[in-house]
Amino acid sequence: MIAADRTILDQRVVRADVLARVLREWKGRYVIEQVVLGDRTGLGDVRAHLALELPGVPISVVRETHTTLLARRRYFADHPPRGWRRLLPLSMQVPPEPYDDYAAVIILERFLEA
Protein backbone atom coordinates (compact mmCIF):
# COMPACT_ATOMS: atom_id res chain seq x y z
CA MET A 1 0.00 0.00 0.00
CA ILE A 2 1.52 3.32 -1.04
CA ALA A 3 0.49 6.96 -0.87
CA ALA A 4 0.30 9.31 -3.86
CA ASP A 5 3.84 10.52 -3.06
CA ARG A 6 5.06 6.86 -3.26
CA THR A 7 5.61 6.55 0.50
CA ILE A 8 5.05 2.95 1.58
CA LEU A 9 2.10 2.90 3.98
CA ASP A 10 1.84 -0.84 4.58
CA GLN A 11 4.22 -3.61 3.53
CA ARG A 12 3.53 -7.14 4.69
CA VAL A 13 2.94 -10.69 3.53
CA VAL A 14 -0.78 -11.49 3.63
CA ARG A 15 -1.91 -15.12 3.66
CA ALA A 16 -4.78 -16.01 1.34
CA ASP A 17 -7.01 -17.06 4.24
CA VAL A 18 -6.89 -13.54 5.77
CA LEU A 19 -6.81 -11.53 2.54
CA ALA A 20 -10.49 -10.51 2.71
CA ARG A 21 -10.05 -9.22 6.28
CA VAL A 22 -6.93 -7.23 5.35
CA LEU A 23 -8.68 -5.74 2.31
CA ARG A 24 -11.56 -4.60 4.53
CA GLU A 25 -9.05 -3.11 6.99
CA TRP A 26 -7.29 -1.19 4.19
CA LYS A 27 -10.63 -0.07 2.75
CA GLY A 28 -11.51 1.44 6.14
CA ARG A 29 -8.15 3.15 6.51
CA TYR A 30 -7.21 4.27 2.97
CA VAL A 31 -8.79 5.49 -0.25
CA ILE A 32 -7.89 2.71 -2.69
CA GLU A 33 -7.70 4.02 -6.25
CA GLN A 34 -5.75 1.26 -8.02
CA VAL A 35 -4.64 -2.31 -7.37
CA VAL A 36 -1.49 -3.77 -8.94
CA LEU A 37 -0.90 -7.54 -9.10
CA GLY A 38 1.94 -9.70 -10.35
CA ASP A 39 1.12 -11.96 -13.29
CA ARG A 40 2.00 -15.28 -11.66
CA THR A 41 1.40 -16.76 -8.23
CA GLY A 42 -2.26 -16.96 -7.22
CA LEU A 43 -3.42 -14.28 -9.65
CA GLY A 44 -6.89 -15.76 -10.19
CA ASP A 45 -7.70 -16.26 -6.50
CA VAL A 46 -6.44 -12.84 -5.49
CA ARG A 47 -8.29 -11.14 -8.33
CA ALA A 48 -11.53 -12.84 -7.21
CA HIS A 49 -11.09 -11.57 -3.62
CA LEU A 50 -10.39 -8.08 -4.92
CA ALA A 51 -13.47 -8.04 -7.12
CA LEU A 52 -15.62 -8.92 -4.09
CA GLU A 53 -14.00 -6.59 -1.56
CA LEU A 54 -13.09 -3.65 -3.83
CA PRO A 55 -15.76 -3.45 -6.54
CA GLY A 56 -15.04 -0.81 -9.15
CA VAL A 57 -11.35 -0.42 -8.26
CA PRO A 58 -9.18 -0.89 -11.38
CA ILE A 59 -6.79 -3.85 -11.30
CA SER A 60 -3.56 -3.82 -13.31
CA VAL A 61 -1.38 -6.88 -13.87
CA VAL A 62 2.40 -6.43 -14.12
CA ARG A 63 5.15 -8.81 -15.24
CA GLU A 64 6.69 -10.66 -12.30
CA THR A 65 9.87 -11.85 -14.03
CA HIS A 66 12.90 -11.96 -11.67
CA THR A 67 11.05 -10.29 -8.79
CA THR A 68 11.88 -13.10 -6.35
CA LEU A 69 15.62 -12.70 -6.93
CA LEU A 70 15.40 -8.91 -6.72
CA ALA A 71 13.26 -9.16 -3.59
CA ARG A 72 15.81 -11.43 -1.91
CA ARG A 73 18.57 -8.91 -2.62
CA ARG A 74 16.48 -6.06 -1.27
CA TYR A 75 15.53 -8.08 1.82
CA PHE A 76 19.18 -8.70 2.65
CA ALA A 77 20.02 -5.03 2.02
CA ASP A 78 17.43 -4.16 4.70
CA HIS A 79 18.28 -7.12 6.97
CA PRO A 80 22.00 -7.98 6.59
CA PRO A 81 22.95 -11.46 7.78
CA ARG A 82 24.53 -11.68 11.21
CA GLY A 83 27.01 -13.99 12.84
CA TRP A 84 28.34 -16.87 10.75
CA ARG A 85 25.78 -16.12 8.00
CA ARG A 86 27.83 -13.05 7.08
CA LEU A 87 30.46 -15.45 5.74
CA LEU A 88 28.09 -17.09 3.23
CA PRO A 89 27.48 -15.44 -0.14
CA LEU A 90 23.97 -13.96 -0.26
CA SER A 91 23.28 -16.00 -3.38
CA MET A 92 23.45 -19.14 -1.20
CA GLN A 93 21.05 -17.83 1.44
CA VAL A 94 17.29 -17.64 1.72
CA PRO A 95 15.67 -15.09 4.05
CA PRO A 96 14.49 -16.64 7.32
CA GLU A 97 10.96 -15.27 6.84
CA PRO A 98 8.59 -14.75 3.90
CA TYR A 99 9.69 -11.84 1.71
CA ASP A 100 6.90 -11.66 -0.86
CA ASP A 101 6.19 -8.12 0.36
CA TYR A 102 9.52 -7.05 -1.15
CA ALA A 103 8.52 -8.62 -4.47
CA ALA A 104 5.21 -6.73 -4.26
CA VAL A 105 7.06 -3.43 -3.86
CA ILE A 106 9.18 -4.25 -6.94
CA ILE A 107 6.03 -5.10 -8.93
CA LEU A 108 4.51 -1.80 -7.85
CA GLU A 109 7.65 0.10 -8.85
CA ARG A 110 7.49 -1.51 -12.30
CA PHE A 111 3.88 -0.36 -12.64
CA LEU A 112 4.76 3.21 -11.65
CA GLU A 113 7.74 3.33 -14.03
CA ALA A 114 5.71 2.10 -17.01
**Domain spans, the chain:** 16-113
Backbone dihedral angles phi then psi of residue 36, each to the nearest 5 degrees: -120, 130
The pLDDT tens digits for 94-104 are 999 999 999 99
Give CA separation, 46 vs 76, 80, 90, 91, 95, in Å.
Answer: 27, 31, 31, 30, 24
- Burial degree of 58 (CB within 10 A; 0-12, 13-18, 19+): exposed
The pLDDT tens digits for 45-76 are 888 888 888 999 999 999 999 999 999 999 99
The pLDDT tens digits for 4-20 are 888 999 999 888 889 88
Average pLDDT value for residue range 70-91: 95
Q: What is the pTM of this model?
A: 0.85
Confidence of residue 114 (pLDDT cuts 50, 70, 90): confident
Q: Is the dihedral of CA 5, 10, 16, 20 positive or negative?
A: negative
Average pLDDT over all residues of the chain: 91
Average pLDDT value for residue range 31-41: 89
